Amino acid sequence: MEDKLQELKTHFSEIGDLNSAASLLSWDQMTNMPPGGAPARARQMALLKRLAHEKLIDPALGKLLDELQPYEASLPFDSDDASLIRIARRDYEQAIKVPPQLLAEIENHAAAAFQVWNEARPANNFAAVQPYLEKTLELSRQLADCFPGYEHIADPLIDHADYGMKASSVSAIFAELRDQLVPIVQAITAQPPADDSCLRQHFPEAQQWEFGLDVVRRFGYDFQRGRQDKAPHPFTTEFSIGDVRITTRVEEHFLAEALFATMHEAGHAMYEQGSDPGYEGTPLAGGTSSGVHESQSRLWENVVGRSRGFWTFYYPKLQEVFPDQLGSVSLDSFYRAINKVERSLIRTAADEVTYNLHVMLRFDFELAMLEGNLAVKDLPEAWRERFKADLGIVPPDDRDGVMQDIHWYFGIVGGMFQGYTLGNILCTQFYDAALQAHPEIPGEIEQGEFGTLLGWLQENIYQHGRKFTTSELVDRVTGGPISIEPYIRYLRNKYGALYEL
Ligand code: ZN
């Protein structure tokens, strides 16, 4: 069995190497590549991904997994070997169900749709993207139908990002959250908005960059195994456990942009860096789901990075870096500014309270489109109506309405958005569990010390990589299912102190 297990590991490490090479080309494309490189780069990445996919659907791999089944059954569920075989089989079985022609069609269409969207969005031309989105929806349905036996047509697509979750389970969590959240949003937005003008001054790029690096270095992002570069849209990418990179974007006239993006991406990256080193090159390395991944970015960005305790330590340092801009701004004013809550149009720029309403709108629309209850041509109007109902404002155009996110125009419709709000919910649930084990954590954060929190995350979440599903992990860490209660309590405590709730 040792031989067969080694064979499995070698097979997956070759798949991983091909995918990592493609990711490195993609990272370079987003950070350094001159525009002239685009056509060749697309071809090079497509070749590597095709080779990786061919290896993943290799019938010899299926045979190997069958042969390893008795060995897997003889081991405890959470042992590394059993988990390796289990996750490898899941990846293999998901991959073989999709005909290669469909996969190629989805990829080619995504590239074409992205190009059209890229030009249509600034021109506010929904009519141009409509036929492409209709085709994307059709391909998404075909993709879902490769996994027969589902309860809801979105289930296989949700499964892909958040394995084990379904339209029904996510909808139930979101409905409960929505009931609690809407009155909080209403109570806050009925009051005068926080003044964030202190963040909207001139902050030179070099100092912003250094300050952000100092913060995430202190968090525990390991620069021996990582680096930060500039990119138009911040992202994290990994080529191995030993090389997990982040990117950020700097706005010289808005201090909150680069700093919080750096914290956010470092949260993703520390999760990836924290996989058990023995998982290198195996399907166990990395993050388990989009929801858990997002919980780690949001924990560092919001729960830690937008907390009063964090700024008790860091605000004097920030004032030292920007004495002219912030020297006469109090900690209180700064803290209110970075936690400003407002009804806004753009999801990615939304505050941590209203953000979830943006996500739920998209999630519900994905379900309705896949069900056939919402036609693409009716989407802009539905978007405006729902926006008015949920956020009390109406987008003035489609550019900042239905066309604002890349997701539907560069992929599929279904499973694209729920992870963001699951992440908000999970980050407070995990943080509560960390505080129960270590009540000293908030006091340490006020001293600029993050080691106990990072150590707890490493021990309870990071090291496991993809070994457990979201619900298995939540159950192990918190002793129960996913719950919105810690998140609502967090919002009430934090925003109750900032506003009258
Ligand atoms: Zn993220």
> Do 489 and 434 belong together in one domain?
yes
pLDDT of residue 2: 87
Looking at the DSSP bridge assignments, the partners of residue 237 are 245
Task: Quote the CA–CA distance of 102 and 109 in Å, as a whole number.
Answer: 10
3 state SS of 80? helix
Catalytic-role residue among 265, 272, 301, 352? 265
Give catalytic status of residue 265 as yes or no: yes
My answer on whether 129 and 206 are in the same domain is no
CA–CA dist 495, 333 (Å, integer): 14
Residues above pLDDT 90, as percent of the chain: 96
Q: Could you tell me if 262 and 316 lie in one domain?
A: yes
Q: Are 135 and 142 in contact (CB under 8 A)?
A: no
- For 108-162, write each residue's pLDDT tens digit: 999 899 999 999 999 999 999 999 999 999 999 999 999 999 999 999 999 999 9
Reported as a single tens digit per residue, the pLDDT across 326-335 is 999 999 999 9
DSSP string, 164-221: T--HHHHHHHHHHHHHHHHHHHHHHHTSPPP--GGGSS---HHHHHHHHHHHHHHHT-
Distance CA 370, CA 61 (A): 33
Q: Is the pLDDT of residue 501 over 90?
A: no
Measuring CA to CA, how many Å separate 140 from each of 71, 225, 376, 402, 415? 37, 37, 13, 18, 10
The answer to whether residue 25 scores a pLDDT higher than 90 is yes
| Pair (105, 247) in one structural domain | no
* CB distance 428 to 353 below 8 Å: no
- Which pLDDT value is given to residue 109? 94
Select from 115, 134, 153 the last residue of a domain. 134
- Same domain? For 47 and 178 the reply is no
Q: What six digits make up the tokens of 375?
A: 């036609």
Considering the domain architecture, whether residues 280 and 330 belong to the same structural domain is answered as yes
Question: What is the pLDDT averaged over residues 51-75?
Answer: 97
| Ligand 1 centroid – CA 402 distance (Å) | 21
- What separation in Å is there between the alpha carbon of 269 and the centre of ligand 1? 10
Task: Tell how far the Cα of 268 is from the centroid of ligand 1, in angstroms.
Answer: 7
Q: Give the C-alpha separation, 61 to 435, whole Å.
A: 43
Q: Answer whether residue 139 is part of any domain.
A: no
Do 114 and 171 reside in the same domain of the chain? Answer: no
Task: Tell me whether residue 147 is in a domain.
Answer: no
* Pairwise CA distance, residues 24 & 286, whole Å: 16
351 and 263 share one domain: yes
* Residue 112 within any structural domain of the chain: yes
- Residue 156 resides in a domain: no
For residue 390, being part of any structural domain is answered with yes
Predicted local distance difference test score (pLDDT) of residue 314: 98
* Cβ contact 282:12 at 8 Å: yes
Number of structural domains, the chain? 2
Average predicted confidence (pLDDT) for the chain: 96
pLDDT, position 430: 98
Instruction: For residue 132, give Cα distances in angstroms to 42, 117, 175, 376, 379.
Output: 20, 9, 31, 10, 13
Task: Assign residue 474 the CATH number of its domain.
Answer: 1.10.1370.30
β-bridge partners, 374: none
Within 57-125, where are the H helices?
A: 59-73, 80-96, 100-120
pLDDT at 66: 98
Domain boundary among 110, 134, 158: 134
CA 365 – CA 359 distance, rounded (Å): 10
In terms of DSSP bridges, do strands 236-240 and 243-248 run parallel, antiparallel, or are they unpaired?
antiparallel
Rounded to an integer, what distance in angstroms lies between the CA atom of residue 127 and that of residue 121? 10
Same domain, 382 and 453: yes
Range of the domain at 446: 167-499
Query: Average pLDDT for residues 253-281, to the nearest whole number?
Result: 97
> How many angstroms separate the alpha carbon of residue 230 from the centre of ligand 1?
16
pLDDT on residue 77: 98
Q: Supply the pTM of this predicted model.
A: 0.96
270 lies in the same domain as 199: yes
Residue 222 C-alpha to ligand 1 middle, in angstroms? 18
Distance 359 CA to ligand 1 centre (A): 13
pLDDT (0 to 100) of residue 1: 82
User: 431-434 — which CB contacts under 8 Å span 24+ positions?
Assistant: 431/299, 431/303, 431/486, 431/490, 432/478, 432/486, 433/460, 433/477, 433/478, 434/460
Give yes or no: residues 108 and 209 share one domain: no
Asked, for residue 161, whether it belongs to a domain, the answer is no
Nearest-5° angle of CA 167, CA 172, CA 174? 90
Which amino acid is it at 126?
F
Is there a single domain that holds both residue 118 and residue 177? no
SS3 231: coil
Q: Could you say which of 134, 149, 182 is where a domain stops?
A: 134
Higher pLDDT, 357 or 39: 357
Query: What does the pLDDT average to over 390-400?
Result: 94
Q: Is residue 121 part of a domain?
A: yes
The answer to the question of residue 158 being in a domain is no
Task: Tell me how far the alpha carbon of residue 293 lies from the centroid of ligand 1, in angstroms.
Answer: 7
